[in-house]
Structure 1
Amino acid sequence: MHPIHLIEEDPGAPESALLMAELSTALEAITGDSGRASFDVDDVRGPLACFVVARGGDGAALGCGAFRPLEPGVAEIKRMYARHGTQGVGSAVLRYLEDEAQALGYQAIWLETRLVNRRAMAFYEARGYARIANYGKYIGNPLAVCFEKQLS
């Protein structure tokens, strides 16, 4: 396994934008929705938010992920992505985000994915996330599935 370096970066930087564009294309192919309407780069900037890029030993961008404040004590994961063919990138990004959220005082992390995105659902469930009632804009959306992980 090659080293994965996790670096907090500007979500508006060209390479960050490219990673998120690749994610949007992949999501559109899987779910029919790019997810762009549910994300604003300004939401993952600031003292209670985080945007991280995973880089290989050669500095190449391999994936990204972010969280934003959702409600008191709860952060929401956004824009989780690992480039096709990478190994361990998604897990490393998620672990980093969980650690950062906990360090910032969050008690829980929530996220939404689509029911049709079985791979994402299995990924989160394997990492301790449990299904919860749909929240916010996802309430009443039968295509959405929401998850939570309590931070210790």
Structure 2
Amino acid sequence: MLEIKISNPNDSSASSITEELSQNLYERFGSDGKNSFTDWDCNNPKYVFVIAELNTEIVGCGAIRPLSEKRGEVKRMFAKYPRKNIGQSILSFLETKAKELEYEELVLETRVKNEEACSFYLKANYIKIPNYGKYIGRLDAVCFQKSL
């Protein structure tokens, strides 16, 4: 049975899945995405990192970090096995947690080339928005938003 658990991105139990995500991103897009955790604040409850565990194997991860008091950003979404409902389970958990933390909306960025991710977020009722923050002017980036 798939379980979603709150974790710490720096825990050794999480490192295998975050390293696999980084390798996957690097191979597909030439960038590993590791810089998204350089300012991670484990003492702030508005920062949430989760792992997905199937039996005893860690098969996915995802995170939310605050951009403002009411706006969170989804980061580091990854499912080791496609089409097994792992990503949807992680995203649903993060959205529920975001509501508990009184976020009113979630935003995220992915690569234009990452057609699977774009389709995934559209199916999850995210809408495409103009690029925000550091993604403004980046033609390889596409941004999405969902009101909670």
Please indicate the TM-score interval, normalised by the length of the shorter structure: over 0.9
Aligned to 2:13: 15
- Count how many residue pairs are aligned between Structure 1 and Structure 2: 148
* Structural mapping, 1:72-91, within 5 Å: 72-84=69-81, 87-91=84-88
> Aligned match of 2:58 in 57, 61, 68?
61
> Aligned match of 1:122 in 112, 115, 119?
119
Q: Aligned partner of 2:10: which letter?
A: G
Q: Aligned partner of 2:88: which letter?
A: S
* Structural mapping, 1:1-152, within 5 Å: 3-40=1-38, 42-43=40-41, 46-56=44-54, 58-84=55-81, 87-151=84-148
Structure 1 unaligned spans of 5+: none
- Of residues 78-87 and 98-107 in structure 1, the stretch that sits farther from structure 2 once superposed is 78-87
Deviation at 1:85, TM superposition (A): 5.1
Deviation at 1:30, TM superposition (A): 1.8
Structure 2 unaligned spans of 5+: none
Q: Are the equivalent residues in 1 in contact too, given 2:8–2:14 (CA < 8 A)?
A: yes
Provide the secondary structure at the position in 2 that maps to 1:42.
coil
**Residues in 1 aligned to 2:4 and 2:58: alpha-carbon distance in whole angstroms:** 10
RMSD value over aligned CA atoms?
1.5
Percent identity between the two aligned chains: 38
**Residues in 1 aligned to 2:86 and 2:114: alpha-carbon distance in whole angstroms:** 18
Deviation at 1:39, TM superposition (A): 2.8
TM-score (norm 1): 0.91
TM-score (norm 2): 0.93
